[in-house]
Amino acid sequence: MSATQLYFDHCASTPPHPDVIRTVAEVMGQVYANPSSIHGAGGQAEQLIRRSREVVARALEVEPEDILLTSGATESNNIAIFGIAKAYQAAGKPIHMIVSEVEHASVYKCVQQLEQEGIEVTYLPVDENGRVRPDEVEAAIRPHTVLVSIMHVNNEMGAIQPIGEIGDMLRRYPKVTFHVDGVQGLGKVPVRLAEWGIDLYSLSGHKIQGPRGAGVLVKRKQVALKPLMYGGSQEGELRPGTENVPCIVGLAKAVRLAVEGQSERYDKLVRLRQFVLEHLSQMKPLVVNSPAVPYGAPHIINVSYPGMKSEVVVHALEQRGIIVSTQSACSSKLHKPSRVLLAMTHDSQVAASGIRISLDANCSEDELKRLVQSFKQMTEQLQSLVQR
């Protein structure tokens, strides 16, 4: 990226923390034995994995045995959803799952695939703030419901789902497993896995200034999953294959830093977000889609330019050195209206023109001034072209 460009796409991927970079490089250079080997060098690698698991567990306030190390949240979500499905299919039982209409593709496409295999799925609508209603979750539960999967923070428009309320309600249904995609929540908003009754919780390292290729699935002991892959005995045979030791150690450091700095980071991000929103909300024809705090996450701002394709706006801003995105990075190249914004706004023009700005707590005031000034110039330029 050019030194003159400003990066506001932290939901897609974050720059690794300098401490994480140093840690990964050091481990990669010094510890390269296979952790499954029985010699001393293998034992050293295995010990680093064990310590990393303990660090992650301590940060999330769970047990080390609850930590399943993966390549990232997409794999974690797949293991959680397909693992539950396969466990019940093996028992020959009917299966029903509940998800929201605004889930990330790595959840949404999993349940779509399971539908094709005969599993029943209920897709819950969201309100004007992009949030599901806990009473509608409960109303959707059937005798054969096995899984409720609701993301913590929406990756496109930043809605914070009422995870605590849903978790409290699900305690009355002990046979239902509660899965949460926590990718955009950790380090930005409070996370209380035990208090909220979460059974399965997915994380990705590169969303919290950690390395790519490393993630976590928190899995409570009582949850039975069937593996999707077969091989060695790593990760309780649920995730076989030689472990990526350097990235696992880097992930542990990133998780610890994210949790330790969450409160201070939240306060700063709220101020930064408010500064940007105060300016963008005054720019016609922009429409602000993100819900206000406390319903909206402090690092995500989603706006639309109705009538203008989102990729046109992204490239117009990029010409001014501003890096933003459209939908989630996983879906941004599809050139289709955002499924998430359509579910929230029921407006196809708004859904086809959504722009996501995702902030970092280290953004400076000067950088944000340049961001809003670039938006102002962009809207004036595109309006003049439309009026010709």
What whole-number distance in Å separates Cα of residue 139 and Cα of residue 240? 38
Hey, what amino acid is at 111? V
What does the block give as tokens for 236? 């309780």
Kind of pairing between the strands at 300-304 and 287-288: antiparallel
Distances, alpha carbon 2 to alpha carbons 318, 339, 366, 382, in Å: 11, 32, 17, 24
Catalytic-residue membership of 110:
no
Catalytic residue (choose from 11, 110, 330, 363): 330
Give 336: exposed, middle or buried? Use CB within 10 Å, 0-12, 13-18, 19+. Answer: exposed
d(CA 223, CA 200): 8
Rounded alpha-carbon distances, angstroms, from residue 148 to 1, 216, 218, 219, 309: 40, 19, 15, 14, 34
**Which stretch of DSSP H or E encloses residue 96?**
strand 96-100
State the Cα–Cα distance between residues 164 and 150, nearest whole angstrom: 11
The one-letter amino acid code at 100 reads: S
Decide: 72 and 215 in contact? Cβ < 8 Å: yes
Q: Which residues contact 307 (CB under 8 A, 6 or more apart)?
A: 285, 349, 353, 386
116 CB-contact burial (10 Å; exposed 0-12 / middle 13-18 / buried 19+): exposed
Residues that are catalytic: 330
